[in-house]
Chain A
Amino acid sequence: MGDLKLPAIDYGALAPMLILFGVACLGVLVEALVPRKSRHAIQLTLSFLAIIASFVTVIIEHGTRKITIGGAVAVDGPTLFLQGAILALGAVSLMLIGERSMEKGGAFVSQAAITVGSQKDLRQAGEQPGATEVYPLTLFALGGMLLFVSANDLLTMFVALEVFSLPLYLLCALARRRRLLSQEAALKYFLLGSYASAFFLFGAALIYGFAGGISFGAVHDAVANPQRSEVLLYAGLALVAIGLLFKAALAPFHVWTPDVYQGAPTPITALMAACTKVAAFGALLRVLYVSFEGVRWDFQPVLGVIAVLTMLVGAVLAVTQTDMKRLLAYSSVANAGYLLVGVLALNEEGLSSTMFYLVAYGFSVLAAFGIVTLVRDADGEATHLSRWAGLGRKSPLFAGTFTFILLAFAGIPLTSGFTAKFAVFGAAVEGGQTWLVIFGVISSMLLAFPYLRVVVLLWLSEPGESTPTVSIPGFMTAAALTIGVLATFALGVVPAPLIDLTRDAAQFVR
């Protein structure tokens, strides 16, 4: 029995995840032991501290390049950069999640299990403060995402996928208002998510069959020097990729996105749009760049078609949307397409520009959803587009901010949207994928229409009788919006520091 050896573990390199998971567990204890009144403040503080501590450890570890804990986790440039990005975006999402001043009790319901529409439910909707379980759940999700982008074998990646997905399914169901929609969204997300996870797992099994190992390094070696039938390889690659494409919301695996984005509480939608996207693309980058580089010429055209499809479907469907959250959902689908174009450049530039895009888009989309939480009437958020008509007259500052964010989405210069799109398209041209860029530009043009339509609606329409009011944002929402807008502007004007950072980080370990 003496030859059972524990693998070497570099706790420093794992610290960002360990901190988040540890504090999340602590948060569960807080739920059990601390009186209800003081939970919100404690949980919020704890979560922020955890994220900050985790971020600090990421910075401390910035030079680490190693594979640890028995080959399960790779800590390298992309890992650390993406972990930092997830944490930074997660902190801003947490500000939106923690906001309690605009609606009594916050955006979350206190007891989600009460039958919707019953007397009891109406009472709690009006009064009780929201569930504080959202904080540990958010931390678990963020921790899972950190693990997801650092996983160095298919099984760890699968575990991480589940670790961050399950809390998100729950969080989606917790909206205070329109809870039936919220629960329906959560259930859809859960069912389809499990469906996609199954494909991922099946694919992992096939690849194990092909390579005789599950670590990305082993798969890479087997691809370079195949020993078994390549049918296993290609079928496995396809299925694993599908699992990841689902999370990244790429067509035709995007079908859940609009429904879930619309139904989920808006702060959670923001979290998914920003952080989940980073995690999903981080994993996709690692799988494709590390394991399957040897068959790049085979998967490039297939994924290219998917990118084109995604860009077109997202843009075309955004045109006829009438709900702000659904519009933003389709816009995020199209953006996933642009990101995939960057990924498919399959060169160092592609890696760095995709990472840049993830950060730039994350901050903008957080600001966008942050603004959505502000437009309210007696029934909560007023997300139907017709209700936004003429808001520019009533609240020019708000409408100006939103216009700026929409221009960033449309890729107008002096916003991060322009620099980010320029970076991924430039990388794709360099990588010989000009055809993808052509479709990307066409799609961007189509997508500019719905954005500008909203701008026109805001400024040039007459406000109607039922135009809702724009709430004065609470401190945390205001902070989140400020950060989002400033980042969108700064990355558009002085993108160089972040671009340099992504370039320095653009090297995987194998």
Chain B
Amino acid sequence: MEQTVEYAHATGTLSGIWLLVAIPLASAAILLLLGKRADKWGHWLGVLAVAASFVLGLVFFIKLGGLDAEHRSAELSMWDFIAVGNLHVDFGLLFDPLSGIFVLLITGVGSLIHLYAVGYMEHDPGRRRFFGYFNLFVAAMLLLVLGNNYVMLYFGWEGVGLASYLLISFWYGRPSAATAGKKAFLMNRVGDTGLAIGIFIMFATLGSTQYSYVFSNVGALSSTTVLVLGILLLLGAAGKSGQFPLQAWLPDAMEGPTPVSALIHAATMVTAGVYLIARSNHIFSANHTLQTIVVSVGAFTLLMGCIIGSAKDGIKRVLAWSTVSQIGYMFLGVGLGGGAYALAIIHLVAHGFFKANMFLGAGSVMHGMHDEEDIRRFGGLRKHMKWTWLTFMMGWLAIIGIPPLSGFFSKDPIIEAAYARGDWTSWLFGTAALLGAGLTAFYMTRLFVLTFHGPERYTEQNKHPHESPFIMTVPLMLLALGSIVAGFLLSRHSAIPQWLEPVTGEGEHDPVMNKTLISILVLAVSVGGAGLAWALFSKGTALQEQPAGVVVTAARRNLYTDAFNEAVFERPGIYLTRALVFLDNKGIDGLVNGIAAGVGGSSGRLRRLQTGFVRSYALSMLTGVVLVVGAFLAIQLGWLA
């Protein structure tokens, strides 16, 4: 990369971008600090704060659109965040096309989900606390995408991690929620450590973490450094986005309230990894091996998510694995580089809508079914929940890529781009993506059919399912509209790639197959998968888990990844800690306790010198005087020194 990257200074209206972060942050502070006093109106403040950010974001976005492509960015340095020695970190923000899209997604989808949560959490005693955390999340996420250097990004990164952890274990009374929170926290720690070391390397080799500086000078680094740096960033991205090998926490994170699953673990936070890679595109594009690694992770994860998703019976579990798999598509996109960055972002936005739509739909179903999650216990719900059914259907059609819904316009180009990688790997990754599309259609149709169609299989206490209140269905309708309309908007194919061009650059190979042929193949595979699922499940399904072959059993066990983690990391880890505890008790504790006893003992003895008598104080001072004067004279006479 020989190009220099510069950002224009924020002027005029755009110098107010800090408000985007400040408003939800202030609201979170008010909600969490006021305590019970805010119980009555707190949730509305929470909704209002995010909506205000959205309106502001929209204004800034339009302003930004008015600038020409050369200067389409606004960088705002607020103050010196850290300044020690050579390390200078600005507290600065950057609003450019990429962060603009994210801001709109976060605040737009965020507002709808906040609104939905007002209804969903109505009977929960912790509703105000919930909205406090929720606002905190929005503020941190906005900081993540708006920072103008990696340290700010890391700040937001840890902030969303914290909010996610707090919200997963929101019902901390349930052991499963507490464990899921812990699992998310630990797995994220692995990724975050990678990101942190990556930032250290950046500072050590380039002396700065500022985006503009890093991207302008990445060409000066050796290719090994770029590779290591990229892998570390990728580790961070994989941790946050639930990609292989750090995917296990994401499905468990569904223990949190459903709006959390929709906003944090489907639409926004989990896409932070994609943002990180898209933002660092100058680093990733600088090394081909690195790109191959990203693409492999994406392709592997997307297939894995599909396979496991096909075998799950919890409505939110299936959606969670589907999220893992869809983010795999995005990783595949950003790994391909060039114009595919924009394709990944398109898919990210489209996914944000339809997945949030389906998660909220799932929440609505559970709301009407006494929190039942098992799709084997649903069936025929379309008669009882008209709106939920209709809106969920839009999400379903969108994700499996039926034209003219948004998934078709966002996933299809990624598959095309995978076929256009340029060497034999085109076949590998393209076919993986194609296969994924078929599997996606299969498991999503299974989910849809078992929930809304076929015979009713309700349990005793769920005899009378009912539709959710208005406040929950309205966001569903708006999101469904997004799942449809996003397709039309994005179908003006070059709009978003052109918009993002100042950030990601362009460039494209020709696919190894005819584009039209690929489109037809994708559609055929999707319809085939969906048809197969419809045929298999429209009559309902067994209520108990049935014995199954090797593949299905493996899929039910998450392809043994948990077992793998347990065998390879957890067990040796436990043995290691036991060994260390032993060493610690015998060796280090002995030393530490010895030192502590020594300090305590000498403290006790020294205390006795503090007699309270002025005469002895004067004597100790005199001793000091004699010693000090003596030392000075000794130096003067040359005895010391």
Contact = CB atoms under 8 A, between A and B. Distances in A.
Q: Among B79, B85, B607, B632, which residue has the most Cβ atoms of chain A within 10 A? A: B632
Q: Among B83, B84, B617, which residue has the most Cβ atoms of chain A within 10 A? A: B617
B617 A192 contact: yes
A48 interface: no
Contacts of B621: 192, 195-196, 246, 252-253, 255
Interface in B576-630: 596, 599-600, 602-604, 606-607, 610, 612, 614, 617-618, 620-621, 623-625, 628-629
A446 B628 contact: no
Contact of A301 (B617, B629, B640): B640
Contacts of A187: 614
Given A252-B624, A255-B620, A319 B633 contact: no
A452 interface: no
A127 interface: no
A306 to B, nearest CB: 7
A422 interface: yes
Nearest to A497: B79
Interface in A300-323: 301-302, 305-306, 313, 316-320
Given A192-B617, A234-B635, 5 more contacts: A196-B621, A234-B633, A253-B621, A258-B610, A319-B600
B606 A253 contact: no
Contacts of A234: 629, 632-633, 635-636
A282 to B, nearest CB: 21
Contact of B632 (A237, A246, A297): A237
Interface in B299-354: none
A145 to B, nearest CB: 22
B631 A255 contact: no
A191 B610 contact: no
B618 A191 contact: yes
A interface SS class: helix
A426 B84 CA distance: 9
B545 interface: no
B641 interface: yes
A320 B625 CA distance: 27
Given A297-B641, A298-B641, A319-B600, A239 B618 contact: no
A464 B79 CA distance: 47
Interface in A488-503: 494, 496, 499
8 contacts: A188-B617, A191-B614, A192-B621, A231-B633, A239-B625, A258-B610, A297-B641, A320-B603
B interface SS class: helix
A17 to B, nearest CB: 30
A318 B621 CA distance: 20
Nearest to B619: A255
Q: Among A192, A235, A302, which residue has the most Cβ atoms of chain B within 10 A? A: A302
B70 interface: no
Contacts of B641: 297-298, 301
Contacts of A149: none
Contacts of A256: 617
B80 interface: yes
A224 B498 CA distance: 71
Interface in A19-41: none
A252 B620 contact: yes
A241 interface: yes
B79 A494 contact: yes
A238 interface: yes
Nearest to B631: A302
Given A188-B614, A192-B614, A319-B603, A238 B632 contact: yes
A369 interface: no
A320 B600 contact: yes
Interface string A179-218: 0000000011001100110010000000000000000000
